[in-house]
């Protein structure tokens, strides 16, 4: 897609008119992408995934460093557009917050790489702090206290070790803090090679424990931590601050919040008492010096993530993750044509909710929990992550008004931004999962490089980022068959994201994924072909040079898996192959008689 950024920036709201020719070209291109690229070295009945996707990997080999699957390719293309925008748009045409986002991107590109030691020194200056790692064991003037250190780093997004916390505000002048169990599946264990690297590059003063000695303790410490298993608790136990059962809970909150915000009677919820008791017991044998240093080492792991900026596009990915709303705003300005698409996209979503609902009602065994049907009734979606009911530009201008960045210091900028978000959270009148905090996506250091919908369970809401609405997933000029096979299938499959929350103890996540694949594809396929009229069939046939309805169905099926194409397909191949093998429409289209025969046994 070629766009003139300068022109668009100057005339926002301009509609891009596309003529008949464009329409034809775009649809022909999509037909060719799907129908000229299947790989006949593979048999569709045996491995549909390789049949549909192998050529994609071949064709995109040269871009392997830039992206490895379709979702990342969309991200990459969005990045290129944003980079072009920053390069070509005069700064005088940019709102203040857009200029700031540009400064951040430029700082990411231009700042030379720091060593981890430099980074630690930078933090010392910023925080006016000393590292426990650099402090002798017998120091008189240093308090080794993991809670104080964790609370300090919490400003920089470090909210996942031993405990995490959340804040909820039922009304404007009151809030409640909650302690939660951290997410064990995203625990980044410390590796020996990291410690070896520190050993080589970070000189330690005498009287401190060296990295090799620390590693000896960490290795078993983390192994034991990993083994913690506790029953799930869905309701928090409420305490008054002064009644909190473990001293570290109080000292952590004191270090975290404004001192004046702590009232001895303030309410604090604890989401999993069994976990907290186990944790307290687990930590007891370890001395304060070790725990302080361990927390610091865990925080230092973010440094590697900050440095993932080898190419310009990677810097843009980081920029997008740090400023999700602002970059979405810019992209939206560059694609005014999407505004008109929003109602149509929502329509596709609603149709898919109905169609999935209908497919599920075909089942009479009662396998699907009622809670999931209830979710379907109120499920909704949003195009783009901007709170559209407000004026996005004014909102972002005032939101970011206090944040000043420089184009010349990437690391400092990162610290400033994380602190800014933290301050917003600290002062915020919003509940954490909701509204602003949600839209700005709770920044972390996991820079996601793919464009995918997200599901927000607390709001029963799907967010479809604007970057998803470009070929090969969507184009305003796409014929319905393409919109339906790619976007509608994706939507139908993703509806089952809502399943995971309602039935934690029923189906394992992998089974839900399989159900989602089969029912999602069935639902989009049925919704399209069951209403297709004879005129439309013959119109499509003429347009694409097909002679049979079967070819249309083939193109639909190829389109429906295309978003899943990736380099090194190992993980998805099985999923896709097994999904289609469960569909009678697939067996029929590809004449997989053998599959049917084998199914009887």
Ligand X SMILES: *[C@@H]1O[C@H](CO)[C@@H](O)[C@H](O)[C@H]1NC(C)=O
By C-beta, is 180 or 335 nearer to ligand X? 180
| Contact pick of 29, 43, 232, 361 for ligand X (by CB under 6 A) | 361
* Contacts to ligand X from residues 40-69, by CB under 6 A: 65-66
By C-beta, is 27 or 159 nearer to ligand X? 159
By C-beta, is 445 or 544 nearer to ligand X? 445
15-23, 40-48, 182-190, 404-412 -> range binding ligand X (CB under 6 A): 182-190
147-155, 181-189, 558-566, 580-588 -> range binding ligand X (CB under 6 A): 181-189
The closest alpha carbon to 206, from 268, 121, 139, 106, belongs to: 139
Buried b (16+ CB within 10 A) or exposed e, 420-453: bbbebbeebebbbeeebbbbbbebbbebbbbbbb
DSSP string over 205-233 = -TTS--HHHHHHHHHHHHHHHHT------
Q: Which residues contact 256 (CB under 8 A, 6 or more apart)?
A: 151, 154, 165
The rounded distance, in Å, linking the Cα atoms of 508 and 564 is: 21
The rounded distance, in Å, linking the Cα atoms of 365 and 512 is: 16
| Contact pick of 376, 412, 543, 583 for ligand X (by CB under 6 A) | 376
| Contact pick of 20, 377, 389, 505 for ligand X (by CB under 6 A) | 377
Q: How far is the CB of 184 from ligand X (least distance, A)?
A: 8
Position 460 contacts ligand X (CB under 6 A): no
By C-beta, is 282 or 311 nearer to ligand X? 311
The rounded distance, in Å, linking the Cα atoms of 66 and 69 is: 10
By C-beta, is 46 or 310 nearer to ligand X? 310
By C-beta, is 445 or 540 nearer to ligand X? 445
The rounded distance, in Å, linking the Cα atoms of 28 and 530 is: 24
Q: Write the interaction track for ligand X spanning residues 248-287; mark x where CB under 6 A is met and - where it is not.
A: ----------------------------------------
Position 571 contacts ligand X (CB under 6 A): no
The rounded distance, in Å, linking the Cα atoms of 85 and 106 is: 13
Q: Which residues contact 136 (CB under 8 A, 6 or more apart)?
A: 205, 206, 207, 208
What the block records as the tokens of 331 is 């992209």
Residues counted in the chain: 601
Position 164 contacts ligand X (CB under 6 A): no
* Contacts to ligand X from residues 303-322, by CB under 6 A: 311-313
The rounded distance, in Å, linking the Cα atoms of 501 and 138 is: 49
The rounded distance, in Å, linking the Cα atoms of 540 and 35 is: 14
By C-beta, is 396 or 527 nearer to ligand X? 527
Q: Write the interaction track for ligand X spanning residues 204-223; mark x where CB under 6 A is met and - where it is not.
A: x-----xxx-----------
Position 183 contacts ligand X (CB under 6 A): yes
135-143, 200-208, 319-327, 410-418 -> range binding ligand X (CB under 6 A): 200-208
Residues of this chain that bind ligand X (CB under 6 A): 65-66, 183, 185-186, 199, 202-204, 210-212, 311-313, 353-354, 357, 361, 376-377
């Amino acid at each position: 897609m070629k766009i003139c950024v300068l022109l668009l920036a100057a005339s926002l709201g301009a509609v891009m008119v596309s003529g008949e020719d464009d329409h034809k070209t775009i649809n022909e291109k999509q037909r060719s992408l799907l129908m000229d690229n299947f790989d006949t070295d593979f048999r569709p009945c045996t491995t549909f995934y390789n049949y549909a996707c192998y050529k994609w990997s071949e064709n995109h080999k040269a871009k392997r460093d830039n992206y490895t699957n379709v979702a990342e390719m969309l991200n990459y293309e969005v990045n290129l557009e944003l980079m072009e925008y920053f390069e070509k748009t005069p700064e005088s045409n940019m709102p203040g917050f857009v200029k700031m986002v540009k400064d951040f991107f430029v700082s990411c590109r231009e700042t030379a790489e720091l060593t981890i030691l430099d980074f630690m020194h930078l933090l010392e200056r910023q925080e006016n702090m000393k590292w426990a790692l650099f402090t002798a064991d017998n120091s008189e003037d240093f308090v080794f206290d993991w809670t104080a250190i964790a609370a300090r780093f919490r400003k920089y997004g470090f909210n996942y070790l031993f405990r995490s916390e959340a804040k909820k505000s039922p009304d404007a002048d009151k809030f409640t803090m909650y302690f939660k169990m951290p997410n064990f599946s995203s625990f980044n264990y410390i590796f020996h090679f990291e410690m070896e690297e520190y050993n080589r590059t970070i000189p330690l003063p005498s009287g401190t424990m060296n990295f090799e000695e620390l590693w000896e303790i960490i290795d078993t410490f983390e192994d034991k931590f990993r083994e913690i298993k506790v029953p799930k608790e869905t309701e928090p136990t409420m305490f008054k601050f002064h009644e909190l059962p473990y001293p570290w809970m109080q000292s952590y909150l004191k270090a975290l919040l404004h001192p004046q915000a702590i009232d001895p009677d303030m309410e604090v919820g604890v989401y999993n008492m069994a976990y907290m008791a186990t944790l307290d017991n687990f930590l007891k044998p370890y001395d304060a010096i070790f725990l302080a240093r361990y927390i610091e080492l865990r925080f230092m792991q973010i440094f590697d993530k900050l440095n993932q900026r080898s190419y310009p596009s990677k810097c843009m990915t980081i920029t997008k993750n740090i400023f999700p709303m602002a970059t979405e705003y810019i992209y939206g300005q560059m694609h005014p044509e999407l505004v008109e698409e929003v109602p149509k996209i929502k329509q596709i979503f609603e149709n898919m909710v109905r169609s999935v609902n209908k497919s599920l009602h075909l089942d009479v065994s009662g396998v699907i929990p009622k809670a999931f049907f209830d979710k379907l009734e109120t499920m909704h979606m949003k195009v783009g992550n901007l709170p559209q009911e407000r004026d996005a530009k004014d909102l972002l201008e005032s939101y970011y008004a206090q944040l000043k960045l420089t184009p010349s210091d990437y690391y400092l900028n990162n610290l400033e931004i994380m602190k800014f978000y933290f301050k917003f959270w600290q002062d915020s009148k919003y509940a954490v999962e909701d509204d602003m905090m949600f839209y700005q996506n709770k920044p972390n250091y996991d820079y996601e490089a793919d464009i995918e919908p997200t599901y927000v369970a607390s709001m029963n809401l799907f967010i479809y980022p604007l970057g998803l609405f470009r070929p090969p997933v969507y184009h305003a000029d796409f014929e319905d068959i393409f919109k339906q096979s790619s976007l509608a299938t994706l939507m139908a499959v993703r509806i089952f994201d809502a399943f995971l929350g309602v039935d934690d103890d029923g189906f394992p996540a992998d089974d839900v994924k399989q159900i989602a694949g089969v029912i999602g594809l069935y639902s989009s396929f049925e919704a399209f072909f069951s209403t297709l009229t004879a005129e439309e069939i013959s119109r499509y046939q003429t347009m694409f040079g097909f002679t049979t309805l079967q070819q249309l169905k083939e193109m639909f099926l190829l389109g429906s898996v295309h978003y899943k194409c990736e380099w090194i397909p190992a993980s998805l191949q099985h999923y896709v192959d097994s999904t289609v093998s469960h569909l009678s429409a697939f067996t029929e289209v590809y004449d997989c008689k053998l599959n049917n025969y084998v199914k009887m046994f």
